[in-house]
């Protein structure tokens, strides 16, 4: 991370806005992103750190690792530091130019040696091949629901046998009691991290049409439909979870 980015605090929704527009990953969001995601997503730092272990265990010689929706490259850097075979490469993709510019800079300042290509583009358009590890860390939730299975099928088709897809997502719950329980705790998490009621409610409105969460059961069923042979939820903090799907 650029030192300036590391210190920049997310105050995007701190002032009352006359009109809430849909959330986009623009320059302003990219500049506060590390602070925003750490204070908004419980378990984010833990997941990032643990992704390295998936790279260590699953990166196959001569294979490619993918970070789809890479933002500033936190997952890419975690994978890169733990890959064992010398002949792997990483492809990181994000559709936000502001994110990609910073991501390239972060990778240039990292000392690990696995080659990384950062592509500014849509993950629905990017070819996947010889993949041993694919990361979708809080990205699938931003695609229209009806396009999620197509993407997972493409990923599955481009993976090597024994490869792993790690899918982290915000969850929704099918019963009202669970939904309320998890939402309240997530709200408490955001308050404890210094977000005001105004910031929380304005951000919720901005994300409403953009981030559409599924249930854990919907994710498991979709991954099965895409062809994955084994699906293992491996992390959950309140309404945020991560699943590993093996080809």
The number of CA neighbours under 13 Å toward the Cβ of 27 is 0
φ, ψ for residue 131 (rounded to 5)?
-90, 130
What minimum distance in Å lies between the beta carbon of 231 and ligand GEK?
20
Part of the chain binding ligand GEK (CB under 6 A), chosen from 94-102, 109-117, 190-198, 239-247: 94-102
Distance in angstroms (rounded) separating the CA atoms of residues 78 and 214: 26
Q: Is 70 in the site for ligand GEK (CB under 6 A)?
A: yes
Q: Is 64 in the site for ligand GEK (CB under 6 A)?
A: no
Part of the chain binding ligand GEK (CB under 6 A), chosen from 3-11, 67-75, 193-201, 217-225: 67-75
The number of CA neighbours under 13 Å toward the Cβ of 103 is 27
Q: CA separation (Å) from 146 to 71, 140, 149, 238?
A: 23, 11, 7, 26
66 vs 138, beta carbon nearer ligand GEK:
138
Which of 12, 54, 69, 77 binds ligand GEK (CB under 6 A)? It is 69
Q: Is 220 in the site for ligand GEK (CB under 6 A)?
A: no
Part of the chain binding ligand GEK (CB under 6 A), chosen from 93-101, 156-164, 176-184, 224-232: 93-101
Radius of gyration over every alpha carbon of the chain, rounded to an integer in angstroms: 18
What minimum distance in Å lies between the beta carbon of 123 and ligand GEK?
4
Q: How many residues bind ligand GEK (CB under 6 A)?
A: 20
CB 239 within 8 A of CB 195: no
Q: Is 238 in the site for ligand GEK (CB under 6 A)?
A: no
Q: Is 99 in the site for ligand GEK (CB under 6 A)?
A: yes
Beta strands in the chain (DSSP E): 64-68, 89-94, 116-120, 131-137, 159-170, 230-237, 240-246
Which of 142, 173, 181, 235 binds ligand GEK (CB under 6 A)? It is 142
CB 73 within 8 A of CB 46: no
178's tokens:
């669970």
Q: Is 94 in the site for ligand GEK (CB under 6 A)?
A: yes
- Which of the 8 DSSP states describes residue 212? -
87 vs 237, beta carbon nearer ligand GEK:
237
45 vs 61, beta carbon nearer ligand GEK:
45
CB 99 within 8 A of CB 72: yes
Q: Is 137 in the site for ligand GEK (CB under 6 A)?
A: yes
Give the binding site for ligand GEK (CB under 6 A).
Answer: 25, 37, 69-71, 74-75, 93-96, 99, 122-124, 137-139, 142-143
């Amino acid at each position: 991370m650029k030192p300036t980015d590391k210190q920049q605090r997310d105050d995007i929704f701190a002032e009352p806005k006359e009109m809430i527009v849909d959330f986009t990953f623009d320059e302003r969001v990219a500049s506060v992103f590390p602070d925003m995601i750490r204070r908004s997503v419980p378990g984010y730092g833990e997941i990032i750190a643990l992704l390295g272990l998936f790279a260590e265990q699953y990166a196959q010689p001569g294979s490619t690792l993918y970070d789809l929706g890479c933002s500033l490259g936190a997952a890419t850097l975690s994978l890169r530091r733990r890959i064992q075979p010398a002949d792997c490469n990483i492809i990181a993709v994000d559709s936000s130019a502001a994110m990609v510019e910073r991501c390239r800079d972060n990778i240039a300042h990292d000392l690990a040696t696995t080659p990384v290509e950062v592509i500014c583009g849509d993950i629905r358009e990017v070819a996947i091949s010889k993949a041993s590890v694919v990361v979708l860390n809080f990205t699938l939730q931003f695609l229209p629901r009806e396009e999620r299975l197509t993407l997972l099928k493409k990923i599955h088709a481009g993976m090597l046998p024994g490869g792993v897809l790690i899918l982290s997502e915000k969850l929704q719950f099918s019963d009202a009691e669970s939904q309320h329980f998890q939402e309240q705790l997530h709200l408490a998490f955001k308050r404890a991290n210094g977000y005001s009621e105004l910031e929380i409610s304005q951000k919720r409105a901005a994300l409403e049409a953009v981030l559409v969460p599924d249930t854990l059961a919907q994710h498991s069923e979709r991954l099965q439909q895409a062809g994955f042979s084994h699906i293992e939820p491996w992390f959950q903090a309140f309404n945020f979870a991560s699943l590993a799907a093996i080809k």
